[in-house]
Amino acid sequence: MSALTDLYPQIQTCRRCEIGHSRTKAVPGEGAEHAEILFIGEAPGWHEDQQGRPFVGPAGQFLDQLIGSIGLKREQVYIANVIKCRPPNNREPLPTEIQNCKPWLDRQIELIQPKMIVTLGRYSMEKFFPGKSISKIHGTARREGNLIYFAMYHPAAALHQGSLRQAIEADMLKIPKVLAEATSIVQEPESPATQQQQLNLF
Ligand code: URA
């Protein structure tokens, strides 16, 4: 057990929301405990609710392919959601559910200490890029301290829509470069000119 996995039984017994009673299994998240990249989706769907694991349905298979396209496996990253229980009939998460679930996600971020948070879809984007429009900011990054935020479309939205699919595939391929550049900036703080130049690349 670790501080991160210690959270799982707490999340699994959480009943702060109505959906804590209607769900089959809560879906805390899974992956490498100190992953460099943390992907954050929206909410568990039917498949995730059955298995208690994130992104295991069709959107998850597409996400696995996208992660594979940058030479990684899902075990090497961490995958979580804004809310941990499935809203009935796949309705959108309610503001109160997002608020009630916030401490779990915030604690996961604190424990994983990722270098990069990749938001998948609008709900996740809203947490880190409030007020922004996904069609405008997808594929762009923002750095705060040592942490990079990178916005992407949700794989479920992109799965069957040609133009979004191309966009999400292209955005995913930017991740290694953004991460490498950010890491090199963090390691060389004494060179402000280089810092500025490299930040402009995002
Ligand atoms: N969609 C999400 O946002 N999260 C999942 O875990 C599955 C589908």
pLDDT at 197: 36
Alpha carbon of 45 to ligand 1 centroid (Å)? 6
- By most ligand atoms within 8 Å of CB, the mutation choice from 40, 50, 81 for ligand 1 is 81
Residue nearest to atom 7 of ligand 1 (CA): 55
Q: What tens digit of pLDDT does each residue of 45-89 get? A: 999 999 999 999 999 999 999 999 999 999 999 999 999 999 999
pLDDT at 185: 67
pLDDT at 199: 42
Residue nearest to atom 3 of ligand 1 (CA): 42
Alpha carbon of 194 to ligand 1 centroid (Å)? 38
HEC string of the chain equals CCHHHHHHHHHHCCCCCCHHHHCCCCCCCEECCCCCEEEEECCCCHHHHHHCCCCCCHHHHHHHHHHHHCCCCHHHCEEEECCCCCCHHHCCCCHHHHHHHHHHHHHHHHHHCCCEEEEECHHHHHHHCCCCCHHHHCCCEEEECCEEEEEECCHHHHHCCHHHHHHHHHHHHHHHHHHHHHHHHHHCCCCHHHHHHHHHCC
- By most ligand atoms within 8 Å of CB, the mutation choice from 23, 40, 42 for ligand 1 is 42
Alpha carbon of 164 to ligand 1 centroid (Å)? 17
Does domain 3-199 bear CATH number 3.50.50.60?
Answer: no
Measured in degrees and rounded to the nearest 5, phi and psi for residue 75 equal -70, -15
Mean pLDDT to the nearest integer, 156-177: 96
Alpha carbon of 42 to ligand 1 centroid (Å)? 6
End-to-end CA distance of the chain: 38
Dist. CA 33–CA 36, nearest whole Å: 9
Alpha carbon of 201 to ligand 1 centroid (Å)? 30
- Where does the pLDDT of residue 132 fall: very low under 50, low under 70, confident under 90, or very high at 90 and above? very high
- Where does the pLDDT of residue 195 fall: very low under 50, low under 70, confident under 90, or very high at 90 and above? very low
Q: What tens digit of pLDDT does each residue of 140-158 get? A: 999 999 999 999 999 999 9
pLDDT at 131: 97
Dist. CA 69–CA 166, nearest whole Å: 13
Q: What tens digit of pLDDT does each residue of 13-24 get? A: 999 999 999 999
- Where does the pLDDT of residue 187 fall: very low under 50, low under 70, confident under 90, or very high at 90 and above? low
Dist. CA 96–CA 102, nearest whole Å: 10
pLDDT at 186: 58
- Where does the pLDDT of residue 160 fall: very low under 50, low under 70, confident under 90, or very high at 90 and above? confident
Dist. CA 149–CA 106, nearest whole Å: 14
pLDDT at 184: 79
- Where does the pLDDT of residue 90 fall: very low under 50, low under 70, confident under 90, or very high at 90 and above? confident
Which sequence spans correspond to the domains of the chain?
3-199
